[in-house]
């Protein structure tokens, strides 16, 4: 079963599941985001989402965390059915930074709408259902961090028709990720709502970053999602 919970220090989220849970999620996101250059104005968002799926894929290939989870089998059951099998299943997991996952949540809303529009899909499409389940798990994790009032405001904002990641300056997410890593657990708890709102609702800080990105990209006539700032993530993160 796919599961998601905030890490001990609230640095990010632990995403876990068995091989098929995680593979199903990655497959769903890949189907929704489409082929490269399919949605040009969402290329930056697509790149960030594929970065998340790559991390999840590393996990279920055995390159991140591995746990053993009881599957409900016991000796009496095996004896009754005359077979021997493991009493634990292997679960794989990996951590994703909170700002990254908040952005992913919003980006998935856009790609669901694009997928429905151009692939003539509906809400019962299996890939959409799997992604909505992932979003539901993220939303449930927010409840443990936010007040009821904050949760209601943010949920309304993320599903607003005006909220979009079209032509988003994804460099801003790197900036939020790095500043979030440097915070203490208490600071993360206090600022979580404002960080989510900064991603959902474009503010002056974001506009300044985007203006800088556009100016730099115009020098080489590059797309804004192709511009790379010198960003160095720490090798070790206290999750």
Q: Does some domain include residue 236?
A: no
Helix (H, G, I), strand (E, B) or coil at 9: coil
Under the banding of pLDDT at 50, 70 and 90, the label for residue 78 is: confident
Tell me which of 153 and 37 has the higher pLDDT.
153
Amino acid 83: pLDDT = 86
Task: List the one residue out of 110, 106, 100 whose CA is nearest residue 38.
Answer: 110
Q: Does some domain include residue 73?
A: yes
Q: Does some domain include residue 233?
A: no
Amino acid 227: pLDDT = 87
Q: Does some domain include residue 231?
A: no
The answer on pLDDT for 28 being more than 90 is: yes
Question: Residue 193: which domain range?
Answer: 3-226
Amino acid 152: pLDDT = 95
Amino acid 77: pLDDT = 87
For the segment 209-217, the average pLDDT, to the nearest whole number, is: 93
- Geometric angle at alpha carbon 230, from 225 and 235, rounded to 5°: 110
Burial of 88 (0-12, 13-18, 19+ CB in 10 A): exposed
Output the average pLDDT for the chain: 94
Tell me which of 60 and 38 has the higher pLDDT.
60
Amino acid 36: pLDDT = 84
Dihedral class, residue 62 (left if φ above 0, else alpha if ψ from -120 to 50, else beta): left
Least confident of 97-101, 109-113, 214-218: 214-218
The answer on pLDDT for 201 being more than 90 is: no
Number of domains in the chain: 1
The answer on pLDDT for 79 being more than 90 is: no
Amino acid 70: pLDDT = 87
Least confident of 2-11, 63-72, 224-233: 224-233
CA distance 64 to 197: 30
Under the banding of pLDDT at 50, 70 and 90, the label for residue 231 is: confident
The answer on pLDDT for 92 being more than 90 is: yes
Task: List the one residue out of 92, 74, 200, 60 whose CA is nearest residue 138.
Answer: 200
Q: Does some domain include residue 37?
A: yes
Amino acid 86: pLDDT = 87
Amino acid 199: pLDDT = 94
The answer on pLDDT for 73 being more than 90 is: no
Under the banding of pLDDT at 50, 70 and 90, the label for residue 142 is: very high
Q: Does some domain include residue 80?
A: yes
Task: List the one residue out of 180, 217, 175, 161 whose CA is nearest residue 6.
Answer: 180
Q: Does some domain include residue 235?
A: no
How much is the CA Rg of the chain, to the nearest whole Å?
Answer: 20
Structure tokens of 174?
């790197």
Task: Classify the C-alpha dihedral 30-169-178-189 as positive or negative.
Answer: negative
Q: Does some domain include residue 232?
A: no
For the segment 204-211, the average pLDDT, to the nearest whole number, is: 94
The answer on pLDDT for 18 being more than 90 is: yes
């Amino acid at each position: 079963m796919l599961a998601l919970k905030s890490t001990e220090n609230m640095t990010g989220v632990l995403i876990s599941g068995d091989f098929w849970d995680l593979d199903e999620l990655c497959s769903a996101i890949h189907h929704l985001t489409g082929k490269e250059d399919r949605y040009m104005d969402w290329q930056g968002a697509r790149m960030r989402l594929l970065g998340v799926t790559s991390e999840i894929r590393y996990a279920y290939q055995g390159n991140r965390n591995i746990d053993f989870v009881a599957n409900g089998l016991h000796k009496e059951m095996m004896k009754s059915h005359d077979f021997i099998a493991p009493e634990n299943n292997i679960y794989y997991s990996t951590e994703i930074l909170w700002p990254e996952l908040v952005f992913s949540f919003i980006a998935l809303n856009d790609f669901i709408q694009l997928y429905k529009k151009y692939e003539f899909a509906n809400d019962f499409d299996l890939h959409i259902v799997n992604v909505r389940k992932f979003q539901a798990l993220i939303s449930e994790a927010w409840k443990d961090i936010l007040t009821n009032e904050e949760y209601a405001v943010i949920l309304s904002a993320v599903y607003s028709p005006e909220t979009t990641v079209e032509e988003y300056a994804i460099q801003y997410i790197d900036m939020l990720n790095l500043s979030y890593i440097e915070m203490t657990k208490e600071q993360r708890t206090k600022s979580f709502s404002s960080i989510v709102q900064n991603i959902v609702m474009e503010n002056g800080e974001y506009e300044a970053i985007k203006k800088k990105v556009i100016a730099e990209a115009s020098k080489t006539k590059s797309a804004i999602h192709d511009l790379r700032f010198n960003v160095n993530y720490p090798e070790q993160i206290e999750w």
